[in-house]
Structure 1
Amino acid sequence: MGLFLSTYVNKVDKKGRVSVPAPFRSALVGGGGGPTEVVIFRSLQAQALDACPIEYLEQLSAALDDPNTPDDYRDLIETTVFGGSVRLPIDPEGRIIIPDEFLQFAGISESVSFVGRRKTFQVWDPEAFAAHEKASRDTARSNNISLSTILAKTGGLAKAAP
């Protein structure tokens, strides 16, 4: 499973199809062979859709088997993520058809922003994503959050030193 990086904006065609960006298709399979599907579900935190390879949900499922996971937390994830997920086939041209109820949830009509989030990606209405990104940057500035502060707090700089 590869990393999902960057942001891409693609049009939704008249048949409701949208092209998954080529780098995301490569990340869905970790570089070997062409991906055949992507799993999407409504985000728990934003007016957007979360998307990932099935392997990511298999990892999440295994993590939920941990006996220290509270039952109510497990139930929440099983109901909202697993119960609300759909597997979307990727056609030979790299396109998917996102179900109408998902498009409505995310407020998507003519264009889609694909936003890389490391092991997953999100699907947004481009204007909604622009507002979300601005708010995120404003929060980072007001809380003095930077890559170096994150690495320093996690000990990442010490680990990376030769």
Structure 2
Amino acid sequence: MALTGTYQRTLDDKQRLAVPRPMRDELVAGESQDLYLAPEMDQALALFSSAAFERRAKRLEETSRGSQNVRNYLRLYYSQAERVTLDSQGRIRIPERLVGFARLSTEVVLLGVHDHVEVWDRETWDGFLSSHSEEFDRLAEEAFR
């Protein structure tokens, strides 16, 4: 199933984030509570299941490492990505470097985006929505070309 939905959450003082049950149910496979948290475009974070992170890694492996920009991206991406584990209350702890990358404040928004969950600062997400909502039809046409 594709991950969908929008959930507002609060980061606690230890930078723990409660992942909504519908998202946890889609992300977690079997007994493992491990997920992967990585930097994403547009100043967001991406939360992946182990399988989805592995698919992304295989896709990145296929890119040309001959390009300096690709090598730099891979260094930045993998050095910031981290395996995180859901605790007994369904929370993950976001490392400080990723909190800084996404400029997360206390109020965050989790978005289901097909095979991953994006974590946005609430104000950043609100700005994204206000500047892109009117483009929905044009963006849909481009996506379905």
For normalisation by structure 1, the TM-score amounts to 0.75
- Specify the alignment match of 1:23 in structure 2: 22
Could you give the per-residue CA deviations for residues 75-129 of structure 1, whole angstroms, max 9, x where no partner exists?
A: 2453132232111111011011111221122121212210111011211111110
Residue 135 (structure 1) aligns with: 131
SS at match of 2:127: helix
- Structure 1 vs Structure 2 CA RMSD: 2.3
The corresponding residue for 1:118 is 114
Q: Which has the higher strand share?
A: 2
State the Cα deviation string for residues 39-94 of structure 1 (Å, max 9, x = none).
11222x2111122112122112323444xx32226524531322321111110110
Between the aligned partners of 2:132 and 2:39, the Cα distance in structure 1 is 20
Matched-pair identity in %: 24
Structure 1 stretches of 4+ with a deviation exceeding 6 A read none
Q: Is this contact kept in 2: 1:25–1:35, CA < 8 A? A: no
- In 2, Cα distance between equivalents of 1:14 and 1:63: 36
Verify: 1:40 aligned to 2:49, yes or no: no
2: distance between equivalents of 1:121 and 1:80? 20
Aligned twin of 2:64: 70
Between structure 1 and structure 2, the one with the greater Rg is: 1
1:52 has 2:67 as partner: no
Q: Which stretches in structure 2 are left out of the alignment for 5+ residues?
A: none
How far off its partner does 1:130 sit? 1.1
**Number of aligned pairs?**
143
Which structure would you say has the larger RCO, counting Cα contacts within 8 Å and 6 or more residues apart?
2
Report the equivalent of 1:160.
Answer: none
Give distance in 2, aligned partners of 1:63 and 1:110.
Answer: 33
